[in-house]
Amino acid sequence: MTKFTVNNAPIEYRMDPKTPLLWALRDASNLTGAKYGCGTGHCGACTVDVDGQAVRSCQVAIGTLEGAFVTTIEGLSREREHPVQQAWIAKSVPQCGFCIPGMIMAAAVLIKTNRDPSDDDIAAAITNICRCGVYPRVVEAVQLAARIQRGDETVAGPPRPGIEPADAARLVPALTPPGK
């Protein structure tokens, strides 16, 4: 059995110690933000923060994490208040969204250790693959996130996660039968 902390909660996984962290998170903890992309550590869709390092969770066995602290996208901020989440929204980074959790986690680790990352620093730290090609917006968002974290800039508050049923009903245009 492997014990470590996930999103500030102590966890004991009763799984084979060779199980990749990605599958422990997704299957045992129901934390589905980290995505399975390539399974080889190249795409970065599964990136999480392990003890302050951006780690491809498909490549690390849970048995090697005894006593570690793991943060997933779900543990960053449920209310989207983390500077990287705010910047991603402000710069309209997401397109399809599949790669976004991994990129956000890599960016969060970067700005934790580098308060003013250059374009080269960002390119070196965020090697995640995005089929939609959002890379220019990612660079802008990481730089904005660093400014937010330093207190040099603010952005409007993020929208609340989800949508209220009453609001959803208002978003659907009223249908009127033909001829009326």
Domains of the chain: 2-76 (3.10.20.30), 83-150 (1.10.150.120)
Computed over every residue of the chain, the mean pLDDT equals 91
Residue for token pair 């589905």 = 32
Per-residue pLDDT band at 176 (split at 50, 70, 90): low
Q: What is the pTM of this model?
A: 0.86
Distance CA 23, CA 58 (A): 8
pLDDT at site 79? 85
Per-residue pLDDT band at 159 (split at 50, 70, 90): low
pLDDT at 130 over 80: yes
Task: Give 31's contacts (C-beta < 8 A, 6+ positions apart).
Answer: 6, 7, 25, 72, 74
74 or 174, which is more confident?
74
pLDDT at site 34? 97
Angstrom distances, CA of residue 81 to CA of 84, 115, 159? 8, 18, 10
Q: Are 92 and 125 spatial neighbours (Cβ–Cβ below 8 Å)?
A: no
Per-residue pLDDT band at 30 (split at 50, 70, 90): very high
Distance CA 33, CA 174 (A): 35
Mean pLDDT, rounded, for 129-139: 95
Distance CA 62, CA 93 (A): 31
Mean pLDDT, rounded, for 79-91: 93
Task: Give 10's contacts (C-beta < 8 A, 6+ positions apart).
Answer: 3, 4
Per-residue pLDDT band at 36 (split at 50, 70, 90): very high
pLDDT at 4 over 90: yes
In the three-class reduction of DSSP (H, G, I as helix; E, B as strand; rest coil), residue 114 is classed as: coil
Rg of the chain over CA atoms, in angstroms? 19
